[in-house]
A and B are shown apart, each in its own frame.
Chain A
């Protein structure tokens, strides 16, 4: 009797509850799982089309560089009867709040085509402004309903900080200007000295992104060398 009450019954109750939980969760998972996978793929495709604008992605490769997995994509587009190649890759930079994962694209000459920060956990209001998009309306505009027709599509709402990387020369060192500010008029001046304007006066997040980009470029070079060596070795 005692065994029944102290061991068997609690075991049965606990088992029943666990089974019921698993049953519920498996159904929710069946509903949500495919959507989650689809979203992750869409996000990656959106990032790829942002960092490789106008290019057609041909292939992706994941190889180990320095014992770290490195994923890069090869793409090309036709410009006046000539095929131009470009590469995109995933890389990590260390910010104030841990690792920031980003994707960047460069063409064969080493011009940065774009950079997209995929995940970050920087300080709200400071480092996380690396994802800030210029405001187009205030609350009063919104309440009045008097918002003029504007373009709200994601394609045009690229965070200003990320957008500065477009057009930089990846073969040269990327400088950081401590202004904590950016406006469209600064663009040409910054490109001339191969620089970006930092998010704030303190440059931990900005430097983290730049360093992540540089280490990614370095890994891309070595990964391509390794891939090329493999290919010629295969032919012989």
Chain B
């Protein structure tokens, strides 16, 4: 089924971070805790789906040479909506995600999908594509942040796992993010190349 394929490709086959190699910056930065990762996923997916929807809806009237400023205006508008709503209704989340909410504007997945998919396809397909890509982005983020939160803080969802155990702090800092992401990329490549070999 074509619709299912467009949705599901973001999860594994064209996973934004692990296959397309996009959006490493927010991935490394907000993967300290699982709850951060989930909120980031929600915020990015909302922007991705909305911008894909709007870009595909107006794709026939957008002059080709003006498409980048137009896409950025649309994306920035939705990001500001997320920014204001989070600050008003989830101030704790807003404080811990900090600068990475406004930086969704330059998240390359979103501009990439607008450019690569939404401006060439219909509204429904574009929404499915955005949804799949957003969830794929979130899956990578959640796995990465679960590993980092368990090993780096001895916690999961903010609850202590083993009372009194000293966590491996390096996992909560930048090196832990790079190690874990590298292992995930390796696993992804290993699985995919084995598949191809058959």
Contact = CB atoms under 8 A, between A and B. Distances in A.
A139 interface: yes
Given A35-B89, A138-B160, A9 B63 contact: yes
A28 B84 contact: yes
Interface in B141-186: 152-153, 155-157, 159-163, 167, 169, 172-173
B77 to A, nearest CB: 4
B84 to A, nearest CB: 4
A124 B89 contact: no
Interface residues of A, number: 31
B95 to A, nearest CB: 8
A135 B77 CA distance: 40
Given A28-B81, A28-B85, A32-B85, A17 B169 contact: no
Interface string B51-74: 000000010011101100110011
Contacts of B169: 125-126
A137 interface: yes
B80 interface: yes
B159 A35 contact: no
A35 B157 CA distance: 27
B88 interface: yes
A28 to B, nearest CB: 5
A10 interface: yes
B161 A10 contact: no
Contact count band on B: 35 or more
Nearest to B169: A125
Contact of A10 (B58, B63, B76): B63
A29 interface: yes
B13 interface: no
B189 to A, nearest CB: 29
Contacts of B162: 138
B62 A124 contact: no
Given A10-B63, A24-B77, A124 B70 contact: no
A83 to B, nearest CB: 36
A125 B172 contact: yes
Name, among A21, A32, A123, A125, the residue most crowded by chain B CB atoms within 10 Å (CB to CB).
A125
Contacts of A31: 88
Given A10-B66, A125-B172, A126-B169, A138 B161 contact: yes
B32 interface: yes
Contacts of A186: none
Given A14-B69, A21-B73, A125-B153, A138 B159 contact: yes
A20 B87 CA distance: 22
B91 interface: yes
Nearest to A25: B80
19 contacts: A10-B66, A13-B61, A14-B70, A17-B70, A21-B74, A21-B76, A21-B77, A25-B77, A28-B80, A28-B81, A28-B84, A33-B84, A33-B88, A36-B88, A39-B91, A125-B153, A125-B167, A135-B159, A139-B155
Interface of B: 32, 58, 61-63, 65-66, 69-70, 73-74, 76-77, 80-81, 84-85, 87-89, 91, 95, 98, 152-153, 155-157, 159-163, 167, 169, 172-173
Interchain residue pairs A-B with the least CB separation, the first 9 = A21-B77, A32-B88, A139-B159, A35-B88, A125-B172, A32-B84, A10-B63, A138-B160, A10-B66
Given A17-B74, A20-B77, 10 more contacts: A24-B77, A32-B84, A36-B87, A125-B153, A138-B161, A138-B162, A139-B157, A139-B160, A139-B161, A142-B159
